[in-house]
């Protein structure tokens, strides 16, 4: 059997996902995002029981923000690692990750907070009007939600899909209740860097498809 390469492998993978899932309740813009999460994780649970939750304005708001050159703030470098690097370059989107900044570590120690909390606070100017993508740290997501409630920031989109056992599911439930702010999240403990970057990559693909149609 001839080995598939590059795009043909991805196309074949997407076709397999479509065939395995069959009928689903996601619309024509939601499904490419859910499918890319599955592609990055090989976990079909994301498509079952409507586990991925979309605010009604999430996709359009995220696409418009990317097209307008918004900043993308992430909680860990792993999210950056999963991004298609050409996309932020083409649309002039600045990628921000403060988690390893020594100043963040000092502030976190002094204020008795997690580095993830402080890194989100320090990136508030980039989050405001931008996209924030959290794949690992529930405390980062809770801090972003708190900043929204305080009126400090108004993100174009919050991608909140942290993985884990402590406060991961709870932080996503809080995000799903947030009014007036577009978000993409999921139910339960699953998530991670690959899921967060998959959502951003899928949004870029939707932007490119829209511009070429």
Per DSSP, helices labelled H in the chain are 6-21, 30-41, 58-67, 77-81, 86-91, 102-111, 115-122, 124-127, 138-150, 168-176, 193-212
* Distance, CA of 117 to CA of 193 (rounded, Å): 17
The CATH number given to 52-212 is 3.40.50.10230
Q: ∠ CA 181-25-160 to the nearest 5 degrees? A: 30
Positions annotated as catalytic residues are 39
pLDDT tens over the chain, length 213 residues: 344 455 788 899 999 999 999 989 999 999 999 999 999 999 999 998 779 999 999 999 999 999 999 999 999 999 999 999 999 999 999 999 999 999 999 999 999 999 999 999 999 999 999 999 999 999 999 999 999 999 999 999 999 999 999 999 999 999 999 989 999 999 999 999 999 999 999 999 999 999 886
**Residue 6: what pLDDT?**
57
Q: Is the pTM of this model over 0.85?
A: yes
**Residue 48: what pLDDT?**
83
Here the tokens at position 136 are 């690992």
Domain spans of the chain? 52-212
* Distance, CA of 130 to CA of 69 (rounded, Å): 9
Q: What is the tens place of the pLDDT at every residue in 108-145?
A: 999 999 999 999 999 999 999 999 999 999 999 999 99
Whether the Cβ atoms of residue 190 and residue 163 lie closer than 8 Å to each other? yes
Whether the Cβ atoms of residue 36 and residue 199 lie closer than 8 Å to each other? yes
Nearest to 131 by CA among 45, 43, 187, 204: 204
């Amino acid at each position: 059997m001839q080995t598939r390469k590059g795009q043909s492998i991805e196309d074949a993978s997407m076709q397999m996902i479509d065939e395995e899932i069959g009928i689903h309740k996601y619309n024509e813009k939601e499904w490419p995002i859910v499918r890319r999460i599955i592609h990055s994780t090989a976990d079909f649970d994301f498509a079952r029981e409507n586990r991925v939750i979309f605010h009604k304005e999430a996709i359009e708001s995220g696409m418009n923000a990317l097209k307008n050159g918004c900043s993308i703030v992430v909680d860990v470098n792993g999210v950056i690692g999963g991004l298609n690097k050409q996309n932020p370059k083409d649309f002039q989107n600045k990628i921000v990750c403060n988690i390893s900044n020594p100043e963040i570590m000092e502030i976190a120690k002094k204020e008795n907070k997690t580095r993830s909390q402080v890194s989100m606070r320090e990136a508030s100017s980039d989050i405001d009007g931008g996209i924030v993508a959290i794949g690992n740290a529930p405390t980062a997501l809770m801090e972003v939600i708190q900043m929204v409630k305080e009126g400090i920031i108004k993100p174009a989109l919050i991608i909140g899909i942290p993985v884990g056992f402590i406060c991961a599911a709870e932080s996503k439930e809080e995000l799903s209740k947030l009014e007036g702010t577009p978000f993409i999240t999921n139910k339960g403990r699953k998530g991670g860097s690959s899921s967060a970057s998959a959502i951003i990559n899928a949004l870029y693909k939707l932007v490119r498809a829209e511009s070429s149609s």
